[in-house]
């Protein structure tokens, strides 16, 4: 047999590349479970590799249980089999509001932000290779050159009028009836959330949040001295309005925070009906809703999911989002549509940092005015979908039996449940030692609920390096 | 007499220009009180104006009581006479801590920020004409072009390493023993103050602050639910350590906020000894000091004043500053040196907006690395000194008898006490209606202490328009 001789390095690279190519096409849905894969000859031709290399790639995928050979018929994508079932939600037991105390762990997780030495499976943000960096740089150079120093002066507290207008246009696409005067520009969605919670809460108040939820929200609650009423989120459909209603009946809350579109970390998407119902039941109780919509622009399907804000008739929904997941994380530009709380939100902005940096506002306003954003989003969604599919398939091949993973319809992160007995913190620490950034699951709740979970994210193109990283993670997870 | 015929417009312009030229040289200290001014012939030659124009300029200055003619000797700068005495500090009566409630007025004052339609006598910030805008724009274009998209990624929470290093170098010039690891980059000094107060206080706490103090600090205290213990500031020497000690003996405070170098609004400068004494007496009581040093780089004298931080041995001084008064207000880049509170400060930064915008950090790091900042500061200080001198002289000529004004040794703002019975809010409203931005004095304290004060500031070159604006203000102030 040819496989007895050790393959040369370039052969290995070619074979990996072929395997990944097939994997990503499976992941992208081109070949659904049960579908017939291209013949070895077709693969060899289309990828310009030898028949032997194509054959090795198929053998490897077969070994991992992802595809199967049927005599005289060729290769097929396996149905079910060694797939990745959906992770389980938190148990449905009502719990009293809890003081948040997650700082130590969160600080460790946050230390990965901006650390270029780690393999980037920990921070949910698009990597520069899939962003229009050179174009944004040229636009920035142009607006500063032509701006006659306007970038040097403070913009008005609520932001540059031209950018507020562009953001209002974007929100209209999401079905929200907003005008430029409803928009307050912030330093990213995190600042929008921060403004919303400072406007709505006092220390000692309680806030309803999904569990799991983005750990920075928990950190924010902790620094504000606000308690959490955790409502479980289902990896598929997000927060159930009935669960929320139940929590509101039991506890007095000052506000509710939700991420209805591709919740971080579980990737869940609430249905149109659930969104409408949540807005209705909160409005009935006069409880404001803080809506995090940072992933709303990143669906894999053809149309953008709607928002709770689109159902808001009372100005009770404070919608928060940014360009950090779509265009320029490091530019720190986001916004809040604070509804009836605009005056208070402006006061918080002015007493926090007066206004958002002018140069980045000017350049983004210019970029958005050209219809370029929609085209860029289209590409980015495709990249995210393919990469996430590859990541998911790689996980299913490399992670130990019993692992589960979310199968989100948008965004760029996976919520991974380790096999029973698995420890996310342990894996996080081992991964970091191996130069891989991931986030342990238990930082996403206050009660160690998700101790056997990790969040993996990938905001760039799928690479050999990432694949090797996931392989290492799988090995570390199997070690237990 | 020639003056009977109406002068042509260009003659009026020339005569105004000559008058302003002489005024600014007097203001800059070139001709101190009692000094002999150049002869009419010398003025005529050096400014290339007719003898008649030079004579009209001197007559106008004489009419305004700023200079005097002595027979057969020429013109001299008047001593005392119709000068501007120092404004009076708040009365020295101990007052209990007070809940801050200034939002309405402050919102009105803040509405002037970024409003280019108003004559800029209200916002303390350098105008683009005196800033290296084209150079900064070129540097920004270069760092983004060469940066390979690094600007698109989050910087680490505490900031770009290169910028933290440059800031540490700057602080060493101010006599502070800091290393890059002590620096946390923020979105302007306002965010630095905000981080400091969120780290140090809980709602209901009291904080010692000077009166008058920057109104955004009061707004911040108000939004945090923190009470103010006001310690009077003298327009000349700032807060007296004995007054502070007295306040600390009477009230429990969680922190103290001071702006020892050219306090906003009264421009006061605390002596080296007073700074050392304040640090000593706070350290003795283990009370942290939040030091606002945004004007410290803008002295008129040859050397930079030192800071309280330079005297700090216990890590109890949280030093806050920015590039907003020296380089690029709209870029929103500042820093905090949080001393022993770095961990808590990082937590606040990450749960507010994660990190400061990367492009502006990258460009500033590059600008600072070239030694250009020191040269720029030298020019800016001269501009500020001349403009403030012109503003001060214009005030003394145009404002009604009994007005007083601070005579700061740095910065770019004047603290103006109206004649008895004058009303700063009334003047603010009338000025705004006339298209002139100023700030009413009472927003700088919690107790309507400075009802007959206004703050005037001017961050650019002295112009006819500003002069006309001050003339209008003088007329409005005289109307009462």
Residues of chain A with CATH 1.10.10.10: 2-77
Q: How many residues does chain B have?
A: 480
Interchain contact B457–A (C-beta under 8 A): no
pLDDT at residue B94, as a whole number = 66
pLDDT over 90 (residue B242): yes
CA distance B38 to A315: 68
In contact, B169 and B183? CB cutoff 8 Å: no
What CATH number is given for A2-77 in this structure? 1.10.10.10
Q: Greatest CA span in chain B, whole angstroms?
A: 76
In contact, B68 and B107? CB cutoff 8 Å: no
Interface test with B, best of A147, A219, A328, A354 (most B CBs within 10 A): A354
pLDDT over 50 (residue B459): yes
C-beta atoms of A128 and B152 within 8 A: yes
CB atoms under 10 Å from CB of B304, counted, come to: 19
What CATH number is given for B378-479 in this structure? 3.90.1150.10
CA distance A352 to A254: 22
Question: End-to-end CA distance of chain B, in Å?
Answer: 36
Could you give the angle at the alpha carbon of B266 between the alpha carbons of B260 and B272, nearest 5°? 25
DSSP helix, strand, coil percent of chain A (3-state; round to 5): 45, 15, 40
Quote the strand ranges of B281-392, DSSP E.
Answer: 289-292, 317-322, 334-337
**To which residue do tokens 């390493």 refer?**
B161
**SS3 for A293?**
coil
Report the residue of chain A nearest B160, measured CA to CA: A114
Interchain contact A104–B (C-beta under 8 A): no
Q: Which long-range contacts (CB under 8 A, 24 or more apart) does B52-59 make?
A: B52/B2, B53/B11, B53/B14, B53/B15, B53/B18, B54/B18, B56/B3, B56/B7, B56/B15, B56/B18, B57/B15, B57/B18, B57/B19, B57/B22, B58/B22
Q: Which two tokens stand for residue B37?
A: 């001014």
C-beta atoms of A351 and B219 within 8 A: yes
pLDDT over 60 (residue A365): yes
| Closest CB to B144 among A141, A155, A333 | A141
C-beta atoms of B331 and A145 within 8 A: no
**CA of B64 vs chain A CAs: smallest distance (Å):** 35
**CA of B176 vs chain A CAs: smallest distance (Å):** 25
Q: Which of residues 264-283 of B touch A (CB under 8 A)?
A: none
Report the residue of chain B nearest A107, measured CA to CA: B347
pLDDT at residue A35, as a whole number = 87
C-beta atoms of A354 and B125 within 8 A: no
Q: How many residues does chain A have?
A: 480
CA separation (Å) from B173 to A296, B42, B45, B170? 48, 42, 42, 5
In contact, A329 and B152? CB cutoff 8 Å: yes
How far is residue A417 CA from its own chain's centroid? 17
pLDDT at residue A80, as a whole number = 53
Across residues B316-322, what is the average pLDDT? Answer: 98
CA distance B321 to A384: 41
Question: Which chain A residues are closer than 8 Å to B331 by Cβ?
Answer: 151-152, 357-359
Interface test with A, best of B115, B128, B353, B459 (most A CBs within 10 A): B353
**CA of A370 vs chain B CAs: smallest distance (Å):** 20
CB atoms under 10 Å from CB of B229, counted, come to: 22
CA-closest candidate to residue A135, choices A375, A462, A458, A396: A375
CA distance B480 to B478: 5
pLDDT tens per residue across span A58-89:
887 877 667 888 888 889 887 654 568 889 88
Q: Which two tokens stand for residue A365?
A: 């306003």
Q: Answer with the residue of higher pLDDT: B152 or B60.
A: B152
C-beta atoms of B187 and A347 within 8 A: no
Interchain contact A320–B (C-beta under 8 A): no
pLDDT over 60 (residue A1): no
Residues of chain A with CATH 3.90.1150.10: 374-479
Mean confidence (pLDDT) of chain A: 90
pLDDT at residue B142, as a whole number = 97
Across residues A102-128, what is the average pLDDT? Answer: 80
Q: Answer with the residue of higher pLDDT: A98 or A217.
A: A217
Across residues A411-431, what is the average pLDDT? Answer: 94
Interchain contact B96–A (C-beta under 8 A): no
Interface test with B, best of A351, A363, A366 (most B CBs within 10 A): A351
Which residues on neighbouring strands pair with residue B75, listed in sequence order?
B69
Across residues B210-236, what is the average pLDDT? Answer: 94
| Closest CB to A347 among B128, B149, B219 | B219
Residue A251's φ and ψ, nearest 5 degrees, are -130, 145
The size of the A-B interface in CB pairs under 8 A is 226
C-beta atoms of A330 and B359 within 8 A: yes
CA distance B473 to B424: 11
Interchain contact B123–A (C-beta under 8 A): yes
C-beta atoms of B194 and A352 within 8 A: yes
How far is residue A290 CA from its own chain's centroid? 18
Query: In what helix (H) or strand (E) does residue A336 lie, and over which residues does it extend?
Result: strand A334-337
CA-closest candidate to residue B337, choices B373, B360, B308, B306: B308
Pick the CATH number of A374-479 from 3.10.105.10, 3.40.50.2300, 3.90.1150.10, 3.30.70.100: 3.90.1150.10
- B132-373 sits in which CATH class? alpha beta
Model pTM greater than 0.90? no
Instruction: pLDDT band for A244, please (50, 70, 90 cuts).
Output: very high
Question: Which chain A residues are closer than 8 Å to B336 by Cβ?
Answer: none
Interchain contact B141–A (C-beta under 8 A): yes
CA distance A312 to A340: 11
CA distance B337 to B320: 7
C-beta atoms of A114 and B187 within 8 A: no
pLDDT over 50 (residue A265): yes
Q: Answer with the residue of higher pLDDT: A93 or A220.
A: A220
Interchain contact B186–A (C-beta under 8 A): yes
Interface test with A, best of B330, B334, B343, B345 (most A CBs within 10 A): B330
CA distance B411 to B268: 10
Residues of chain A with CATH 3.40.640.10: 131-372
Q: Answer with the residue of higher pLDDT: A203 or A33.
A: A203
Interchain contact B101–A (C-beta under 8 A): no
C-beta atoms of B153 and A203 within 8 A: no
**To which residue do tokens 């930079």 refer?**
B304
Across residues A21-35, what is the average pLDDT? Answer: 78
pLDDT over 60 (residue A9): no
Instruction: pLDDT band for A5, please (50, 70, 90 cuts).
Output: very low
What CATH number is given for A131-372 in this structure? 3.40.640.10
- Sorted by sequence, the CB contacts under 8 Å of residue B378 that are 6+ apart come out as none
CA distance A296 to A377: 11
CA-closest candidate to residue B101, choices B438, B447, B440: B447
Gyration radius from chain A CA atoms: 23
**SS3 for A68?**
strand
Could you give the angle at the alpha carbon of B323 between the alpha carbons of B322 and B327, nearest 5°? 170
Interchain contact B331–A (C-beta under 8 A): yes
Q: Answer with the residue of higher pLDDT: A82 or B411.
A: B411
CA distance A128 to A108: 24
CB atoms under 10 Å from CB of A438, counted, come to: 27
Question: Which chain A residues are closer than 8 Å to B194 by Cβ?
Answer: 351-353
Residues of chain B with CATH 3.40.640.10: 132-373
| DSSP state for residue B322 in the 8-state scheme | E
| Closest CB to B353 among A107, A133, A188 | A188
Q: Answer with the residue of higher pLDDT: A393 or A278.
A: A278
Question: Which chain A residues are closer than 8 Å to B156 by Cβ?
Answer: 113-115
CA separation (Å) from A415 to A76, A123, A233, B295? 27, 13, 12, 49
Question: Which chain B residues are closer than 8 Å to A145 by Cβ?
Answer: 134, 137, 141
pLDDT over 80 (residue B143): yes
Q: Which two tokens stand for residue A191?
A: 């600042």
Interchain contact A50–B (C-beta under 8 A): no
Interchain contact B321–A (C-beta under 8 A): no
Query: In what helix (H) or strand (E) does residue A413 lie, and over which residues does it extend?
Result: strand A413-417
pLDDT over 70 (residue A114): no
CA dihedral B394→B396→B399→B401, nearest 10 degrees, is -160
**CA of A95 vs chain B CAs: smallest distance (Å):** 25
Mean confidence (pLDDT) of chain B: 90
C-beta atoms of B332 and A131 within 8 A: no
ipTM exceeding cut-off 0.90 for this assembly: no
CA-closest candidate to residue A421, choices A474, A477, A461, A356: A477
Across residues B300-312, what is the average pLDDT? Answer: 93
CA distance B89 to A412: 59
Which residues on neighbouring strands pair with residue A277, listed in sequence order?
none
Question: Which chain A residues are closer than 8 Å to B216 by Cβ?
Answer: 350-351, 354
**Strand-strand pairing, A289-292 and A317-322:** parallel
Interchain contact B305–A (C-beta under 8 A): no
Share of chain A above pLDDT 90, in %: 67
Question: Which chain A residues are closer than 8 Å to B154 by Cβ?
Answer: 113-114, 123, 125, 329-330
CA distance B142 to B146: 6
Report the range of poorest mean pLDDT among A334-348, B66-80, B455-469: B66-80
CA-closest candidate to residue B392, choices B128, B208, B121: B121
- Sorted by sequence, the CB contacts under 8 Å of residue B180 that are 6+ apart come out as B161, B164, B165, B167, B168
pLDDT tens per residue across span A206-216:
999 999 999 99
Instruction: pLDDT band for B107, please (50, 70, 90 cuts).
Output: confident
């Amino acid at each position: 047999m040819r496989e007895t001789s050790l393959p040369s390095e370039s052969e290995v690279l070619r074979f990996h590349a072929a395997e990944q190519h097939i994997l990503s096409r499976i992941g992208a849905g081109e070949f659904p479970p049960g579908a017939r894969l291209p013949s070895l000859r077709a693969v060899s031709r289309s990828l310009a590799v030898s028949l032997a290399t194509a054959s090795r790639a198929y053998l490897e995928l077969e070994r991992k249980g992802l595809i199967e050979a049927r005599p005289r018929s060729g290769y097929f994508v396996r149905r079910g089999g060694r797939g990745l079932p959906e992770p389980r939600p938190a148990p449905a037991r009502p719990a009293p509001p809890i003081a948040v105390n997650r700082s130590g762990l969160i600080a460790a997780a946050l230390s990965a932000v901006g650390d270029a030495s780690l393999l980037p499976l920990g921070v949910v943000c698009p990597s520069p290779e899939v962003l229009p960096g050179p174009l944004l740089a040229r636009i920035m150079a142009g607006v500063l050159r032509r701006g006659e120093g306007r970038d040097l002066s403070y913009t008005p507290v609520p932001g540059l009028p031209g950018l507020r207008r562009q953001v209002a246009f974007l929100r209209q696409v999401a079905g929200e009836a907003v005008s430029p005067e409803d928009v307050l520009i912030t330093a990213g969605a995190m600042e929008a959330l921060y403004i919303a919670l400072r406007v709505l809460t006092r220390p000692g108040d309680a806030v309803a949040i999904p569990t799991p939820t983005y750990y920075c929200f928990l950190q924010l609650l902790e620094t504000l001295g606000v308690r959490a009423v955790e409502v479980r989120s289902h990896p598929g459909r997000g927060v159930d309005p009935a669960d929320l209603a139940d929590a509101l009946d039991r506890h007095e809350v000052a506000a509710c925070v939700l991420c209805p579109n591709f919740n971080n970390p579980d990737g869940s998407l609430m249905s149109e009906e659930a969104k409408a119902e949540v807005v209705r039941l909160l409005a009935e109780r006069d409880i404001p809703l803080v809506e995090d919509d940072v992933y709303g622009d990143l669906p894999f399907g053809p149309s953008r999911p709607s928002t709770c804000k689109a159902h808001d008739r009372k100005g009770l929904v404070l919608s928060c989002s940014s360009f950090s997941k779509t265009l320029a994380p490091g530019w720190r530009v986001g916004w809040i549509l604070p509804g009836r709380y605009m005056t208070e939100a402006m006061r918080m902005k002015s007493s926090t940092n007066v206004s958002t940096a002018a140069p980045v506002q000017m350049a983004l306003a210019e970029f958005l005015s050209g219809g370029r954003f929609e085209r860029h989003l289209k590409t980015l969604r495709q990249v995210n979908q393919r990469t996430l599919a590859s990541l998911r398939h790689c996980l299913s091949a490399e992670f130990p039996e019993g692992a589960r993973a979310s199968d989100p319809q948008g965004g760029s992160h996976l919520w991974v449940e380790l096999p029973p007995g698995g420890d996310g913190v342990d894996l996080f620490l081992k991964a970091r030692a191996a130069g891989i950034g991931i986030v342990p699951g238990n930082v996403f709740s206050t009660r160690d609920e998700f101790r056997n979970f990790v969040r993996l994210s990938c905001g760039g193109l799928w690479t050999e390096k990432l694949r090797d990283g996931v392989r290492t993670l799988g090995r570390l997870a199997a070690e237990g």
